[in-house]
Amino acid sequence: MKLQIEDSVLVRDYMNGDERALELLIRKHNQRISSFIYSKIGDRNITEDIFQDTFIKVIRTLKKGTYSEEGKFLPWVMRIAHNLIIDHFRKSRRLPKFEGSDDYNIFSVLGDEKLNAEKQIIKDQIDSDLLVLIEQLPVDQQEVLTMRMYKDMSFKEISENTGVSINTALGRMRYALINLRKIIETHNIVLTN
């Protein structure tokens, strides 16, 4: 039987200069983190990019010495990955997408941005505030809410991706919305456009 070294020991060893400790941490959590990212993205190449970006952030934080070990290494890494996934969807959603064809019309992607600049700034701020609120939810509720709201997945697709029943996915979404309302009411937050 293989001895499992605690994450806190590996983190401490890495912060003390043992590069192999980071390799062990990555190997130990590779499958779980990659699966988590792939379940949201659905693309192997982008999953690999986000996985690498996640560990770049982890390494930078550990090298700066700003990481505080509280026995929560994996949830911390998952939160970093989750934030990078959201960043990915934000970037990909903002870029205009069009297919090249003979009847291509440049005006189909151009518009008078000045008219909507203020509304866009307000919307961006609301989106940003909402993401901060979503991060306060339990991970399973964040996952369902993100898949539903940001990836436009059906509850059947969410069920298949998370390995839970449709009713469980619906329940998690319901609780996510209830909990978001409670957070908003408790802190008197105004989200309006």
| Average pLDDT over every residue of 104-115 | 48
24 contact partners, CB below 8 Å, separation of at least 6:
5, 10
pLDDT tier at 191, thresholds 50, 70, 90: low
Taken in order 172, 174, 177, 181, the sign of the CA dihedral is negative
Look at residue 139 in the predicted model and tell me its pLDDT. Answer: 92
Mean of pLDDT values over 158-169: 91
Q: How would residue 98 be classed by pLDDT, with cut points 50, 70 and 90? A: very low
Using CB atoms within 10 Å of the CB of residue 102, give its burial: 0 to 12 exposed, 13 to 18 middle, 19+ buried.
exposed
- Based on its alpha-carbon atoms, the radius of gyration of the chain, rounded to whole angstroms, reads 20
Lowest-pLDDT range of 17-26, 91-100, 128-137 = 91-100
Between 121 and 150, the more confident residue is 150
Which residues have a Cβ under 8 Å from the Cβ of 177 and sit 6 or more positions away? 145
The backbone region for 96, taken as left when phi is positive above 0, alpha when psi lies in -120 to 50, beta otherwise, is beta
Q: How far is CA 146 from CA 28, 119, 152, in A?
A: 26, 23, 9
**What is the CB neighbour count within 10 angstroms for residue 36?**
22
* Long-range pairs, 147-156, Cβ under 8 A, ≥24: 147/40, 148/173, 150/86, 150/89, 151/40, 151/89
Average per-residue pLDDT for the chain: 79
53-58-62-63 Cα dihedral, nearest 10 degrees: 0
pLDDT the model gives residue 3: 53
Tokens of 122: 């307000």
Q: Which of 26-40, 51-65, 69-83, 155-169 has the highest mean pLDDT?
A: 155-169
Question: Hey, what domains does the chain have and what are their CATH numbers?
Answer: 7-94 (1.10.1740.10), 114-193 (1.10.10.10)
